[in-house]
Amino acid sequence: MSDISVLGAGAFGTALAIALSHHGARVTLWARDARAVAEMTAGRVNARRLPGAPFPDALKVTGDLAAARTAGTMLLAVPMQSLSALLAGVDPAPGTRLVACCKGVDLATGLGPTGVIAAAAPEGVPAVLTGPSFAKDIARMLPTALTLACRDAEAGVALQHLLATPVLRLYLSRDVTGAELGGALKNVVALAAGISIGAGFGESARAAIITRGFAEMQRFAETTEADPDTLCGLSGLGDLTLTATSEASRNYATGLALGRGEARADGVTVEGIATAQAVERLAAARGVAMPLTAMVSAVTRGEVSVREAAAALLARPLKEE
């Protein structure tokens, strides 16, 4: 029986499986695609999603969801919009620690990852692992720090010790909502930052977008049970700093393509697009002003051009900071 099952063999799930297996945990990596499972089993590498990162000998790969669900801890490393369907198929045993490794807001329900987990598996123990990290860095055992948020204090400490490694440092938080919001909302700002650079608006404009986008993140957090200060940590400001400045970020890279008028890459999960649409609806219902989020939502839906969006933002009434 594995200590940990990682459900989802994308780049991030694969990287976590590699890193944890290297440091002594018994890990099973589950993938939905039977051909991908066969390729990973034979080649001992995820050549499709994380080439150049060989698997440790102890890492098990399976396409059998029933086998993967026997672990006491499951890392749910699938796109946010696929999380609900995955949990319906898993049917976790009571007491299973279910750690969301995705970032975003469910379009159908408006819930964050742990909300989706709680609805689908009310007898499980939900948690979220989030913060500034690229899969390739984790797989290469480069120093990384993340936030692990869990409302259950005892389970949180147990998870912190199980999932931390000598180079993967985990900071524990009880503010699950704040940690989730930071991870979700920063993707929207990263899209906007990429759009700005891609459109040739310059680095000063990007700095303004990051700063005012962070203000929107905190403003939205204040309408929830989250502590806005949580967003000043790794799960908010830390993750924003990474993803709004690096082309290795899918959201930033997609923004660059949009700003340049290019088609975005097929088959690439860009959580910020769905998040912008979901948060725009939630913000409107709560009376929260989030003009940057609204413009990202409109641009990604093709309702306005990048330059029209920029003009609308710059034409807003002047105000105090």
Query: Domain limits of the chain?
Result: 4-174, 183-314
Under CATH, domain 4-174 is a member of which superfamily? NAD(P)-binding Rossmann-like Domain (3.40.50.720)
Distances (CA, A) of 110 to 80, 89, 156, 190: 11, 21, 25, 20
In the beta sheet, which residues pair with residue 127?
A: 99
Alpha-carbon span 250 to 308, nearest angstrom: 24
pLDDT band per the 50, 70, 90 thresholds, residue 271: very high
Q: Please answer whether residues 55 and 40 qualify as being in contact, where contact means their C-beta atoms are separated by less than 8 angstroms.
A: yes
**pLDDT computed for residue 268 by the predictor:** 78
Q: What is the pLDDT of residues 27-50, one digit of tens each?
A: 999 999 999 999 999 999 999 999
- Tell me, what amino acid is at 198? G
Locate 137 and state its tokens.
């860095």
Q: Please answer whether residues 68 and 62 qualify as being in contact, where contact means their C-beta atoms are separated by less than 8 angstroms.
A: yes
Where does residue 288 rank: exposed (0-12), middle (13-18), buried (19+ CB within 10 A)? middle
**The model scores a pTM over 0.85:** yes
Locate 165 and state its tokens.
């490694």
pLDDT score of 116 more than 60: yes
Query: Which residues belong to the active site?
Result: 186
Provide mean pLDDT across the span 141-145: 98
Q: Which one is the CATH code of 183-314: 1.10.1040.10, 1.10.10.10, 3.20.20.70, 1.10.3720.10? A: 1.10.1040.10
Between strands 125-130 and 144-149, the pairing is: antiparallel
pLDDT score of 1 more than 70: no
Q: Please answer whether residues 250 and 270 qualify as being in contact, where contact means their C-beta atoms are separated by less than 8 angstroms.
A: yes
Tell me phi and psi for residue 97, to 5 degrees.
Answer: -85, 115
**pLDDT computed for residue 67 by the predictor:** 87
Q: What is the pLDDT of residues 285-303, one digit of tens each?
A: 999 999 999 999 999 999 9
